[in-house]
Amino acid sequence: MIVTFVHVFVLEAHISDFIEATIENQKKSVREPGNLRFDILQDAADPAKLVLYEAYESEEASAAHKNTSHYLVWRDKVAGWMAQPRQGIKHTIIYPTEKSQW
């Protein structure tokens, strides 16, 4: 299993636009084969800082996500709304190891 934390710094004027577009992407992403979880988190102290928590069963499922039409639409739509390029940091799930434990 693989988890990616995508750190995003959004321009203040586009926070609500970014969230709306990301929710659209999330609703389709969670239906992808191999997707375990896709959460959208917002920093409580700084609403312009968001983190996307993406969990996939495999590296292949994670890579396939980046080829979906909904991801490509989201990527292009939000590109100009970021204060800096987003940064995805991959992690390996140590525990829990089974979906039934989540």
Which domains does the chain carry?
2-101 (3.30.70.100)
pLDDT in tens, 63-99: 999 999 999 999 999 999 999 999 999 998 888 777 6
Q: Token pair for residue 46?
A: 């700084």
Is 0.85 topped by the overall pTM?
A: yes
First to last CA, the chain: 13
The model's confidence at residue 56, banded by pLDDT at 50, 70 and 90, is very high
CA 3 to mean position of chain CA atoms: 10
Per-residue b or e along 25-42, where b marks 16 or more CB atoms closer than 10 Å to that residue's CB = bbebbeebebbbebebeb
Task: Tally the residues of the chain.
Answer: 102
